[in-house]
Amino acid sequence: MDGQALLGLWWTVPAGLAVLGYGCSLAGMTRAQRAVWVTARVVEVHQPAHGDSKEPGIPVTVAFQDPGTGREFRLRHAGKRGEVVHAAWLGREFAVRYPRGRPDRFRLMVDLWGERRGLNGPNCLVLVLLVGLTVQAFFLWGWPQGLICFGGLLFVNAAISRDVHLARTRAALLADCVAVPGRVVAVTKDVYPGGEGGDVANHAPVIAFTTREGVAVTALCREGIPDPGRSRGRELTIHYAPADLSVHTPDLEHDRRERAAGVRFVVYLVLGGLAAVATGMIALRQVWPFT
């Protein structure tokens, strides 16, 4: 198979799969649409052990009722079924989905964006398709057309990015934040292969604080705590949003910088897209002058 045929497969296969995925979504046949969706509440919060991995998040036991049988299930979630829980407290509610008749195979959903209609897979395939088309444009049509397609790809990524929306939402919630004392109760540790044959240790503190309303919160705090590997037992001031306890930070200024970095990333995507499209258009005009 030559390079041109391989490039054709690169974008035709994702295109076909994306069309199939969107068709299944319209017909209500995706796995998410065929699943049973219920609301689960946290009935137990389990603190990660000191030195454990952060990958499972905060382990919790959730309770939910199967609408088909009326039976209530209490099942433990530790990051292996669905998304990771980064903040937990008794009574916190999550969406849960599972195949009909199999509550034991539940998946806990923290973020429902695109999940209920099963669109996450087709949307990812569309991005793969656009990458394939961009690469093919460079090889088959020339670098000016390739730059224009690349700029379009950057625009699409900027358009679908949620960074700006999330930053604004988080800023609005923290505008009315409340400060309470907190404490680092454990520090997770993950070791990854590093350069030159060495390993790199990544630490994420586990913090605990109690809101003014008496709600005890346990959370994984990846940012905002200096020297996290030695932070166990450290006393902190936690700023939390009363409207959403999962929104909290030990350092408001660090949180502001992180939100600003997310917004800047989207701005850079737009500026990069404009520069790529403009450069491609100028090159095309020089090659094929308009009359």
Mean pLDDT of all residues in 67-96: 88
Burial 14-39 (b: 16+ CB within 10 A, else e): bbebbeebbebbeeeebebeebbebe
Higher pLDDT, 175 or 197: 175
Question: In the chain, what percentage of residues exceed pLDDT 90?
Answer: 49
pLDDT over threshold 80, residue 3:
no
The candidate with the shortest Cα–Cα distance to 219, out of 81, 89, 49, 78, is 89
Rounded distance between C-alpha atoms, residue 266 and residue 167, angstroms: 11
Over range 227-246, report the average pLDDT: 94
83 or 87, higher pLDDT: 87
Which of 2, 250, 17 lies closest to 126 in space, CA to CA? Answer: 17
Which amino acid is it at 259? Answer: R
Q: List the beta strands (DSSP E) in the chain.
A: 36-45, 60-65, 72-77, 87-88, 93-98, 107-109, 178-193, 199-210, 216-220, 235-241, 244-249
* All structural domains of the chain with their residue ranges: 35-109, 171-255
170 alpha-carbon distance from chain centroid: 15
pLDDT per residue over 12-68, tens digit each?
777 788 888 888 777 777 787 788 899 999 999 999 999 899 988 999 999 999 998
Task: Answer with the residue of higher pLDDT: 127 or 115.
Answer: 127
| pLDDT for res 291 | 43
**Across the strands, what pairs with 216?**
210
Determine the straight-line distance between the first and last CA of the chain, rounded to whole angstroms.
Answer: 41
50 alpha-carbon distance from chain centroid: 25
Global pTM value? 0.84
Determine which of 93-102, 110-119, 252-261 has the lowest per-residue pLDDT on average: 110-119
Strands 216-220 and 87-88: antiparallel
* pLDDT above 60 (res 73): yes
- Using the predicted structure, report yes or no on whether residue 135 has a pLDDT greater than 90: no
Higher pLDDT, 264 or 283: 264
